[in-house]
Amino acid sequence: MPVLVFDLDDTLYPELNYVHSGFRAVAAFLSPLLAVPAETLAAGMVAEEAVLGRGQVFDNVLRQHGRWSKALVAACLRAYRQHRPTLALFADAERCLTRFAEWPLYLVTDGHKEVQARKVAALPLAGRVRHAYLTNRYGRHRAKPDPHVFELICRREDMGAAEVIYVGDNVRKDFVGIKPLGFRTVRILRGNYAHLTADAAHEADRSIHTLDELTTEFVAALLAS
Ligand SMILES: [Mg+2]
């Protein structure tokens, strides 16, 4: 049976879920310090992220309350990174993992290894994927587009690259490193990269809008192409 490998953030669950979950953890930490209800703080952070992005959210909430310090910003970042997130799979991801339950399934994800491990633990993935490869565990240089962990999957399954399909959303790094080795690639058009156009080297073999499009027929056609 072919091997299906999935990216995590914005492929199987919406990454913004994680961000908002982290904001709630930071709000709970700051609430007694700032004497402001946690819900108010969290709502402010969510609103600011929507406009300005994640970069300055903790600086700004502390500044607004006259409590900015480098140490408190660092404490917010720790609360964010160390919190146990509440996450849910995309509905189509849930259906996809169920549809291919008998197949060898894997995850490959970049990012802070403990953060990524907590995301994996928070999602209903145990017993459904054979292994979640956190590239960070193998060193930063093994992050995508490096193909190292994909080669580990081939070895583990005793499969050639042409029998392994990677599904991801980030056209900047998800496909360019593994395509030359013969891996098959599928781009899911959602998240921050959905509207990026890519050159042929970076673009996936196929693009889909939902994981519902990933059927056994779709996979067979992709492998035969
Ligand atoms: Mg992603």
Query: What is the domain partition of the chain in residue ranges?
Result: 3-15+87-224, 16-82
Rounded Cα gap, residues 203 and 146, in angstroms? 16
Q: What's residue 209's pLDDT?
A: 98
**What CA–CA distance (Å, rounded) separates 112 from 103?**
28
CA of 10 to the centre of ligand 1 (A): 5
| Confidence at residue 22, expressed as pLDDT on a 0 to 100 scale | 97
User: What is the 56 CA–ligand 1 centroid distance (Å)?
Assistant: 22
Give the Cβ contact number of residue 70 at 10 Å. Answer: 8
**Tokens 């849910």 sit on residue:** 88
Kindly indicate the confidence band of residue 211, based on its pLDDT and cuts at 50, 70 and 90. very high
Choose among 150, 160, 154: nearest CA to 108. Answer: 150
Determine the distance separating the centroid of ligand 1 and the alpha carbon of 14, expressed in angstroms: 9
Q: Would you identify the CATH topology of the domain 3-15+87-224? A: Rossmann fold (3.40.50)
In the reported structure, the alpha carbon of residue 48 is separated from the centroid of ligand 1 by a whole-number distance in angstroms of 22
Q: Tens digits of per-residue pLDDT, 86-125?
A: 999 999 999 999 999 999 999 999 999 999 999 999 999 9
Tens digit of each residue's pLDDT (9 = 90 or more) over 5-62? 999 999 999 999 999 999 999 999 999 999 999 999 999 999 999 988 888 999 999 9
Please state the pTM of the whole predicted model: 0.94
Structure confidence by residue, pLDDT tens digits, 144-174:
999 999 999 999 999 999 999 999 999 999 9
Q: Please tell me the distance between residue 66's alpha carbon and the centre of ligand 1 in angstroms.
A: 36
> In the predicted model, what is the mean pLDDT of the chain?
97
> Could you tell me the distance, in angstroms and rounded to a whole number, from the CA of residue 224 to the centre of ligand 1?
26
pLDDT > 90? residue 127: yes
What pLDDT sits at residue 53?
A: 85
| Ligand 1 center to 12 CA (angstroms) | 8
How does 77-99 read in b/e, with b if 16+ C-beta sit within 10 Å?
eebbeebebebebbebbbebbee
- Alpha-carbon distance 25 to 47, whole Å? 16
Instruction: Please tell me the distance between residue 118's alpha carbon and the centre of ligand 1 in angstroms.
Output: 16
The alpha carbon dihedral of 158, 129, 91, 82 has a sign of: negative
DSSP 23: H
Tokens of 33: 């310090």
